[in-house]
Amino acid sequence: MRVGVLGVGLMGAAMSRRLLSQGFDVTAWDRHRERAQALEPHGGRSAAQPADVVREADVVLTMLRDADVLTDIVRPLLPAWRPETSWLQCGTIGAGETDRLVALARDHQRRHVRHTGLRKHPAGRAG
């Protein structure tokens, strides 16, 4: 399975490393390019642009700072997103913001999976 990750901070990096350790094909992007490049020794690929992440992904995980950043990055990508790709939004945002993202995905006929993050839980930090 090809997994695209947008946002490779503390949680995104841990989740990406865990996915790589389980044999998933991971391509990641972060506005701080060195964060995505840090996955390369673990078998991951870094992408120069967010579009490079979603182009071939079966699942896209988003772990971005807040709903505004998330929307700014994802909205222009959705029209080119493969219809069979699922979007798992893992960042910490509010319920109302999540509802808006679900509507955005639905408007583009894309699958959005609601997810509650585990940022403060040791298992979440471990990936």
All domains of the chain in start order, with CATH: 2-125 (3.40.50.720)
pLDDT at residue 29 in the model: 98
Is residue 45 scored above 80 in pLDDT? yes
CB 25 within 8 A of CB 2: yes
Q: How far apart are CA 53 and CA 31, in angstroms?
A: 13
- Of 22-26, 55-59, 60-64, which one has max mean pLDDT? 22-26
Q: At what angle do helices 67-74 and 95-107 cross, to 10 degrees?
A: 10
Per-residue pLDDT tens over the stretch 89-121: 887 777 777 778 778 778 877 777 666 555 554
CB 81 within 8 A of CB 107: no
Confidence band for 72, pLDDT divided at 50, 70 and 90? very high
User: 97: alpha, beta or left, given left = phi > 0 and alpha = psi -120 to 50?
Assistant: alpha
- pTM for this predicted structure: 0.85
Kindly report the average pLDDT of the chain as a whole number: 86
